[in-house]
Each structure stands twice: as C-alpha cells, then as structure tokens.
A and B are shown apart, each in its own frame.
Chain A
Amino acid sequence: MEQYRDAGGNLSQPDFEQVFLPHLDAAYNLARWLLRNDQDAEDAVQEAYLRAYKAFARFRGGDGKAWFMTILRNVCYTMIKKLRSNETSEPFDERIHQSMSDLEMQEAFRRKADAENLHYALEKLPDEFREIIVLHDLEGLAYREIAAVASIPIGTVMSRLARARGRLRTEIIALNAKEPSS
C-alpha cells in the first residue's frame, strides 16, 4: 500500500481506485444481501467508497479488503437502522431442531434444499447470521478477516457461523414442514 502514497502520505484517486475498486463486487454482494434491494445496495457501496476515500489517511496498511468491508458494513447497518426502525423479526421455532435426529434432519433438508428455498431461507435469517454466511461462504473471507470486518473475536466468528448454518438448515426444514412435498 505504501508505494501508492505521495510524500504527504496521500493517495491519488487513480491509485485509490486501483486498490479498492476490485472489492466492488464483494461489497455490492454484501450490501445487497443486507439491504435487500438494488438501489439501497448501490447507494451504500457508493457511500462506502466516499468514506473510504476520505478516511484513507487513517488507514495504515494491512488488509485493504477487510478495511473497506468494515466501512461498507457500517454504512449498511446505519441504513438498516433508518429503513427498518420499527420492524420486528419473526420468532424462531427451535422445536423442529430438537425433535429430529441428525440423520432425519439431513434427509428432510436434502428434500427441500434447492436454489429457491436456500435463497429464501438465507433472506429470512437475522442480519448477523445472513452477513456471516455471505462473508464466509459466498465471498470466501477467512475467519480472521470476518473478525476484523465485524469487530468480533475469532471464537465468535466460529460459533456464529455454526449457528447461522444450523439456523439456515432448520429454516429449510421448517419450510418443508409447512409445504409438504407431494
């Protein structure tokens, strides 16, 4: 990163773009999953780039992607607060989870785990679960990168990801219970 700076420690716009624009797809994907529509996602990504550009003087090297995604994530959560201030999440039914064996769960899951249901189930997950699946499984960030982006310890990344995946599985099985396949 240092090679891009001028004597005053500043980054020119073309260099800034060269370093950070490659993360645009990852940023957009996370923003789109968190904010749930194209327009908000585009606005969030643009805002994140502007903030990153202004804040760049404070960036002291290291993982540029994690640094940028942290800014983007903050922008997204600020927007979520504004957009969904009076939205309450559906209560989650844990009973399905408790009444089935591992094998039964896996089979019930397999019957319904198509693209449409997976997409639907991921959309239904709480933000923190949806975000960790997007960051890890779709964007391929390592645990330590996610820890940096979400400002949580690595142990929390590990347990949250496990819970998110478990919840996704249960959501799909619950879907199965509501609309039994013929």
Chain B
Amino acid sequence: MNHDEVARLLGPFQDGELDLATSQKLEEHLASCPSCQQKLAGEQELANLIRSEIPRFQASPFLKTRIQAALRENKSTSATIPSWNPITLAWAYSGLAVATLVILAVGVFWTQRVPVLEQEAVTNHVRSLQVSHLMDVASTDQHTVKPWFAGKLDYSPQVVDLSPSGYPLMGGRLDVLDHRNVAAIIYQRRKHYINLFIWPSDTKSLHARLYNQNGYHVLDWTKSGMNYLAVSELGEKELNEFVQMIQDQTIDK
C-alpha cells in the first residue's frame, strides 16, 4: 500500500468499515510510517470532536404526541379499505361507521400517552388523598403557607389564595416529583382537591398542555423560571379555570 491509498482508507479504517484483509495491510503500512500515523491521529481527533462537541438536536416531547395524533387523524379520514370480503363489507356499510366513531373516540381517550412526569404527578395526587397526608401545613392563609416552605426548599414558591373565586387554599405539603423536592400547594373545589406542584424549571420547561390519565386531569406550564403542574379529579373546564386564575395571579419576577 502506498501513502495515497492509505490516506484514502484512513477514514473507513477508523470508522471500522474496512474488511479484515485491507485493515491488516493498512496496519502494516502504519506500523512503519510516522506521517500516516500522524494523519490517522488527526482523523481520529476530528471524528471524536465531532461526536463529543456537536449536539444532537432533541425533539420536543410533544412532537411524539403530535405525530401520534396526526397518524390517528390520517387513519380516520383517509384510510383505505384493503381486503374486506363482501360480507364484512356489507356489514361495514350498515353499522361499522358508527361503531368506528365510538371506538375511535374511546381509543383517543385511552391511547393518549401521558408522559412520565405527569403520570408521577397523578400518583402523587392520588397518594396525597389516600393516606390522610394531604397537608404538612394546613392553613387557608397564604402568609402561613409560603413561609412554611422556607428552609425546606431551595426556592420560594408563590402561594396565592383563590377563595374569593371558589378555590380556597387549604395548605401546603412537601412532595417529590421529577427526582427533586417540590412544593405542593393544595386547593379545594367543593369536595375535590387540586394539587399544584411548583418547582424551578432549570432542567426542563413545560408546554401548557392538558393530560388525562384515568380520569385525573393534569395541566402544566412554565412561567418566570418556575414549572407549575396542577392535578385534580376536577373536570377539564374547572381545572382550566383554576389554572387561568393561578397564571393571572402569579407575578412575573
């Protein structure tokens, strides 16, 4: 092998794309050729830097949800009927259309995938209701609840009272979400409770979306460097109303 041949093959060599025989010939040449060794070192350095220093762009977690929804939609509007036999086809024309609509509606509800964070929040919410551990500090006074978190968390959550609007503040609790201690503020609506989790958005931001898991609704968003996640068995409409009020009353820092 001459230098030119070696130079041409250094890339594939370091990429592990050469067959064994060619690799061996190339190694023989390298063993006795400092200038080609130098070239190889340069190639390796470049490839390593590309791999270690250039970012892989990360898709937003919502792209997946969006695509799944698009696939479903595509299926319901433009799906072809491939190889039905005549009997099935006849049946399809009579009753399947309605059945399909029902199945699709239920399917949408069931298969919407709830991300790990939101699932964890629902679990926290359910547990807070089960084991009579809803509150560490029970108070309807925001000036009692807010200072209670001082010293327990490395940030200070904003606590607002919504009792004039029918969502009275009930108290606060220390909880764990997304591998960290978070503030849980508890609000009540009739016989229902809302857990509002608040923590700094230093690792990830949330994108104001509504999730539904087994009848629990989760709405989360990011504002002024803080993540907010509200979870409750309340209906979508009321939870939205609650979140709107919280958003209006949390002050931009």
In the complex, A162 Cα to B17 Cα: how many Å? 13
Does A165 belong to the interface (CB within 8 Å)? Answer: yes
Decide yes or no whether A16 CB sits under 8 A from chain B.
yes
A159 to chain B, nearest CB (A): 8
Known: A138-B54, A143-B17, A158-B12. A118 touches B70 (CB 8 A): no
Interface of B is mostly: helix
Report Cα–Cα, A113/B78, bound state, in Å: 50
Contact status A106-B49, CB under 8 Å: no
Q: Which of A17-25, A81-89, A91-99 contacts B (4 or more CB under 8 A)?
A: A17-25
Most central of B11, B42, B50, B111 by chain A CB within 10 Å: B50
B8 contacts chain A at the CB level, 8 A cutoff: yes
- Interface 0/1 of A23-59, CB less than 8 Å to B: 0110011001100001001100110011001100100
Q: Chain A interface: which of B56-64, B157-165, B174-182?
A: B56-64
- Alpha-carbon distance between A110 and B46 when the two chains are bound, in angstroms: 9
User: Are A24 and B46 in touch, CB under 8 angstroms?
Assistant: no
B50 contacts which chain A residues (CB < 8 A)? 118, 122, 133, 137-138, 165, 168
- Tell me if A54 and B71 are in contact (CB < 8 A): no
* CB–CB A115/B53 < 8 A: yes
Nearest neighbor of B55 in chain A, beta-carbon distance: A119
> Is residue A61 contacting chain B, with contact meaning CB distance below 8 A?
no
Q: Please indicate the chain A residues that have their CB under 8 angstroms from the CB of B57 in the complex.
A: 28-29, 32-33, 41
Is B209 on the interface with A (CB-CB < 8 A)? no
Q: Which of B11, B67, B70 contacts A165 (CB 8 A)?
A: B11
Whether A42 and B63, one on each chain, are in contact in the complex, defined by CB atoms closer than 8 angstroms, is yes
> Do B15 and A143 touch across chains, with their CB atoms under 8 A apart?
yes
Q: B94 an interface residue at 8 Å Cβ cutoff?
A: no
Given contacts A49-B70, A118-B49, A158-B11, contact A28 B42 (CB under 8 A): no
Residue-wise interface mask of B (44-86) relative to A, using a CB-CB cutoff of 8 A (1 in contact, 0 not): 0111011101111111100110111011101100100011000
- The answer to whether the Cβ of B35 comes within 8 Å of any Cβ in the partner chain is yes
Stretch from A6-14, A62-70, A174-182 that touches the partner: A6-14
Say yes or no: A42 contacts B82, CB within 8 Å.
no
Name the B residues within 8 Å of A114 (CB-CB). 53
A41 to B72, CA, bound (A): 21
Q: Are B67 and A105 in contact (CB under 8 A)?
A: no
In the complex, the answer to whether A42 meets B58 with C-beta atoms within 8 Å is no
Q: In chain B, what residue has the closest Cβ to A114?
A: B53
Chain B: CB-nearest residue to A163? B11
B63 and A138 within 8 A (CB)? no
How far is the CB of A113 from the nearest CB of chain B, in Å? 5
Q: Which residues of A contact B64 (CB under 8 A)?
A: 21, 24
**Apart from A161-B11, A165-B11: 14 A-B pairs, beta carbons within 8 A:** A13-B75, A28-B58, A28-B63, A54-B78, A102-B35, A106-B41, A106-B42, A109-B45, A118-B50, A118-B54, A137-B47, A143-B12, A159-B8, A162-B11
Q: Which 4 A-B pairs have the closest CB atoms?
A: A28-B59, A32-B57, A8-B83, A115-B53
